Amino acid sequence: MHHSKRKRSRVAIVTGASRGIGAEIALALAADGIAVIVNYATSADKANTIVKHIKQQGGTALAVKADLSKPDMATSLFDEAENTLGKVSILVNNAGVMELSPVADVTDVSFERQVSLNLCGPFRLMREAAKRLADDGRIINLSSSVVGLYQPGYAVYAATKAALEAMTKITAKELGGRGITVNAIAPGPVATELFLKGKSEELLDNIKNMNPFKRLGEPQDIARVVQFLSRSDATWINGQVVRANGGVV
C-alpha cells in the first residue's frame, strides 16, 4: 500500500468570521487547505454554519466564541487555537464595529466600543502573535478606505483604523526576522450589515455610481486579497496597506 506523507496544514485565526467579510475570509483560507478558527461574539449559529460548509468541502474548522473587546480574550483565543488545531501561522484581525456620529454627539460608550474592538482587540492579538506565531507567519489587519477620506461622522471609526495602520507598519518591521509579514487591507464599501445598515436605496445607488465598476464590493473581493497575502510564497509584500476598493479612492 502506498502511504503518502501528508503535510500538516497551516492554522489561521479569523476574528469576526461568523458573517460578512470574515466569513468569506474563513471559507477562502479553508479552500487553500488552511485549518481555520472561526471566531465570533454572538452569532453562534452563523459561525457553526460556516464551519459546516468548510467541513463539507473536506476542510478543517472550529467555531470559537470570544468577545475580543475584552482584555483577556486574545490570550485565550490563541490558547484554544493551539490546543485544538495546533500552532497558528495566520492571524486575520477582521472583527470590527462602525458607529457614525459627529464628534459633538459621540458618547463615551460608543467611543469605547469602537476603540476596544477595532484597536485594542487587534493590538492584543498582534502582541500574542508576535510571540506565538509560526515562523513565516502572516498577520492581516482589516482597515478601511475611509482612513484617507476624512468624511464628517467618521472621526472615531477612522481614527481606530488609522491607528491600526500605523501599528501594522511598525509591527511589520519588528517581525521580519522570523519571516512574518504584517499587512493591512483597506476595503472601500462592501455589501455587509456593517455598511448597509441605515442606508437608503438612493444613497446606495450614489455610492455604486461613484465606483469605476458601478457596484459595491462583495465580501469575496476582499477575501481573495487576504488569500493572496496569506500564501506562503507571498513573502515580499510587508508593512503595506492594500486599498481594495475597485479604484474609488
Q: Answer yes or no whether residue 125 interacts with ligand NAP by CB under 6 A.
A: no
Asked if residue 13 binds ligand NAP (CB under 6 A), the reply is no
30-59 mask for ligand NAP (x: CB under 6 A)? ---------xxxxx----------------
Residue bearing cell 483560507: 29
Q: Return d(Cα 9, Cα 89) in angstroms, integer.
A: 10
Q: How far apart are CA 219 and CA 25, in angstroms?
A: 8
Residues 201-240 that bind ligand NAP (CB under 6 A): none
Please report whether residue 114 would count as binding ligand NAP according to CB under 6 A: no
Choice from 72, 105, 108, 193 touching ligand NAP (CB under 6 A): 193
Is residue 78 part of the contact set for ligand NAP (CB under 6 A)?
Answer: no
Closest CB to ligand NAP among residues 94, 238: 94
Q: Is 157 a catalytic residue?
A: yes
* Binding piece for ligand NAP, criterion CB under 6 A, among 11-19, 49-57, 81-89, 206-214: 11-19
Minimal distance, residue 67 CB to ligand NAP, in Å: 4
Residue 216, C-beta contacts closer than 8 angstroms, at least 6 positions apart: 189, 190, 191, 195, 204, 207, 208
Total interface residues for ligand NAP by CB under 6 A: 31
Nearest to 149 by CA among 88, 93, 210: 210
Say if residues 53 and 27 touch (Cβ distance below 8 Å): yes
By rule CB under 6 A, what string of x and - marks binding of each residue 82-101 to ligand NAP? Answer: ------------xxxxx---
Query: Letter for the amino acid at 238?
Result: N
Nearest-CA neighbor of 128 among 177, 81, 164? 81
Q: For residues 65, 67, 73 and 74, what is the CA-based torsion angle, rounded to 10 degrees?
A: 90
Report how far residue 105's alpha carbon sits from residue 20's, in angstroms, rounded to the nearest whole number: 28
Nearest CB to ligand NAP, comparing residues 112 and 135 = 112
Whole-angstrom distance, CA of residue 242 vs CA of residue 172: 14
21 binds ligand NAP (CB under 6 A): yes
Residues that bind ligand NAP (CB under 6 A): 15-22, 39-43, 67-69, 94-98, 117, 142, 144, 187, 189-190, 192-195
Which residues are tagged catalytic? 157
